[in-house]
Amino acid sequence: MISDPLTVITIVPLAVSLVLLILPKISGSAEGLARASRAISMGVSLAMLAITTMIFFGEIGNVDWTDYNSGYSLTNDAFALIPSIGVHWKVGADALSFPMIWLTTLLIPISMLVEWDAKRGHLFHPLILMMEGALIGVFVSLDVFVFYAFWELTLVPMFFLIMVWGGDDRKYASMKFFIYTFTASVIMLIGILVMYFYTPDVASSGTITGHSFDMAVMISSSDYIPSEGLRHLVWILLLIGFATKMPSFPVHTWLPDAHVQAPTAGSMLLAGVMLKMGAYGFLRIAVSAFPESTVAFIPLLIFLGMASLVYGAWVCMGQTNLKRMVAYSSVSHMGLIFLGIATMQPLGIAGALFMMFAHGIISPLLFAVAGAFKHHYHTLEIGSMRGIAHHSPWLAAHMMLGWMASLGLPLLAGFVAEVTILIAFWMSFGWLVLLPALTLIITAVYYLTSMQRTIFESNDPHQGKLPDTLHGEEPRDITWHENSGMIILGVFTIIFGIFPFIFWDMMSEWSSGFLIDTLVEAMQSEGVKP
């Protein structure tokens, strides 16, 4: 139906958003366009969702996602962007990237919906649309240069979202966000360049440098890097870039600030998709190219994962700010992804992939709840507002669902991911599994206390306690668009909790295939049991 759907879903949002942002600036007669830009953005993002959903159901491209051996699907004919240095426009998706692509196209319209009444909507919604193009570009590009360009491009709309629509301390937060992630990606770029200089000459005819940025060629370059020390160094450089994005302890400190200050839609996308870019890039480039280094550094991965998990959860218990607590819980959950990869089990890696997906559904719900809370009660302090079940039963219900999903209640999406990672961890490391398992108790503690204090606890059983920031006004109930956005997310949380196999099958196939193809050899040579 559409010959090159992945290019379409990348380029169309970017092009439309640029037109919507720039045209009204240049010509005064385009004011009508500015007024319609909110509707146009929503329309385009829904169309993109329709395309990815049709890809999933096989209407477009007729792809069997559970077949690992078919490699990348929906690829295009490589179009030379800078042939002299071997840069091509080459896209494709597999079971690693497709769930992320679908998730992106799902979250974009929902986050637009939740902030449907944002101030200066003629800029806000196009920026989110630009975010969509950049995020999808990261997941689909099969050229490391283009991957990196999109990786950096995601910073631009997010930076402006935080800086223009953020909270009181937005200046500091957006600056910190930009500098932190930009520095990390420059470090990553150095690693990428070292790989580039070692790419073999064979596949890159027509370049004047004799190297290529093609993902497949780049990944094979590790065979050509002569020294093991250099390979480890490059792996570390890449890890710094990806771990900062994820974010993992100890480079996570930008995240709470960015989240607390970001507008609701910004937080939703940041937690929902942007953090997953780190895990995606780590698997796609670092692990694929340097399986030996990955195996050699398993203890480091376990340390980082455990530290993020425990530290994130521990800090959550002390938080009084709702959004900050949710942000630290993201750090904690991202730690599980490293643990899942470190198990070197098909189940563990598939669990990590499902964690990426499930957290991508649940955490936007959490941030939507926190955003609605801020919007209607003008505060994010956990003890200042009590008994919202009285005022806003819908918000209380969403909060409960989200909180329960995030702490891993069975039959909700988060449970599947957590339990598979823990099983795989047990298979690899035996009783050490008690460490992450016991941390989940901490998770339960902070979620349940915060929920109890905000939803239920009240001095008067029939009346909630309103925060001072409302100055005695009666709070409004959540608006229809916030409510419907949260309902959609809640429904998907339940759907993927009860029917995880919708995406689980392709993820587990991919994980076992990936493990056999790239990691087994390295594990044998390093003497690690599979």
Partner 1 sequence: MTSVGNLQLSSDMASSLLPEMIMLLGLIAIVVIPNLGDAKFRIPLTSVRVPVLLGGSRFDLTNDPRMPNRISNITFAIAFISSLMLISEPSKELGGVLMADGFSRLFSTMFLGALLLVSIATTHRLPAKVNARIPEESDSEAVFDRKISVLINNRRQVDFYILLIMVGLGMSMMAMATNLFMLIVCIELASLSTYVLVAFHKEASSGGEAGAKYFIVGSVASAIGIYGMSLLYLWAGSLDLDILREKWQLMDGVDPFAAFGIGMMLVAFGFKVSAAPFHLAAPDAYSGAASQVSGLLATASKAMGFLALFRVLVMITVPDGSEALWMVTLGIFAILTMTWGNLAALTSENPKRMLAYSSVAHAGYMLAGIAVVGSGITGTNESSIILTAVTFHLVVLVLFKLGAFLVLTLLETEGSGHKMEHLHGLGRRDPLIAGSMFLFVLSLAGVPPLSGFLSKLLMINGIVSSSAGTGISSSEDILSWAESVDPMFWLAGAIVLNSALSLFYYLRVGLVMFFEEPVVDRPLKTAPSLRMAIFVCAILTVLCGIGPVSEWILDLVNGAIDSLMYE
Is residue 175 involved in binding partner 1 (CB under 8 A)?
A: yes
Query: End-to-end alpha-carbon separation of the chain, Å?
Result: 43
Nearer to partner 1, 172 or 501 (CB): 172
Tokens found for residue 272: 């929902």
| Residue 228 within binding range of partner 1, rule CB under 8 A | yes
Residue 334 structure tokens: 């991202």
Q: How far is the CB of 81 from partner 1 (least distance, A)?
A: 5
Closest CB to partner 1 among residues 149, 389: 149
* Cα 253 from chain centre: 17
> DSSP H helical segments within 262-392, as ranges?
264-269, 275-281, 288-289, 291-296, 298-317, 322-342, 346-377, 388-391
What does the block give as tokens for 410? 């069975």
SS3 460: strand
Among 72, 116, 145, 297, binds partner 1 (CB under 8 A): 145
Among 36, 39, 50, 80, indicate the residue that binds partner 1 (CB under 8 A): 80
Contact status: 25 vs partner 1 (CB under 8 A): yes
Q: Exactly one of 2, 81, 423, 470 binds partner 1 (CB under 8 A); which one?
A: 81
The site that binds partner 1 (CB under 8 A) totals a number of residues, namely: 39
Task: Pick the binder of partner 1 from 4, 67, 152, 477 (CB under 8 A).
Answer: 152
120 in contact with partner 1 (CB under 8 A): no
Among 38, 90, 211, 259, binds partner 1 (CB under 8 A): 211
Q: Which of 15, 30, 33, 193 binds partner 1 (CB under 8 A)?
A: 193
CB of 413 to partner 1, least distance (A): 36
The secondary structure of 244-257, three-state, reads HHCCCCCCCCHHHH
Q: How far apart are CA 291 and CA 283, in angstroms?
A: 10
Q: Is 491 in the site for partner 1 (CB under 8 A)?
A: no
What minimum distance in Å lies between the beta carbon of 163 and partner 1?
A: 7
d(C-alpha 208, C-alpha 338), whole Å: 39
**297 interacts with partner 1 by CB under 8 A:** no
User: What is d(CA 358, CA 496) in angstroms, rounded to the nearest whole number?
Assistant: 8
Q: What does the alpha-carbon distance between residue 431 and residue 223 come to, in Å, rounded to a whole number? A: 36
- Residue 328 contacts residue 316 (beta carbons within 8 Å): yes
Q: Which is nearer to partner 1, 1 or 26 (CB)?
A: 26
Contact stretch for partner 1 (CB under 8 A) within 170-178, 271-279, 494-502, 518-526: 170-178
**CA 470 to chain centroid:** 34
Q: Is the Cβ–Cβ distance between 173 and 260 less than 8 Å?
A: yes
Binding site for partner 1 (CB under 8 A): 22, 25, 80-85, 87, 145-146, 148-149, 152, 163, 171, 174-175, 178-179, 182-183, 186, 189-190, 193, 196-197, 208-211, 226-230, 232-233
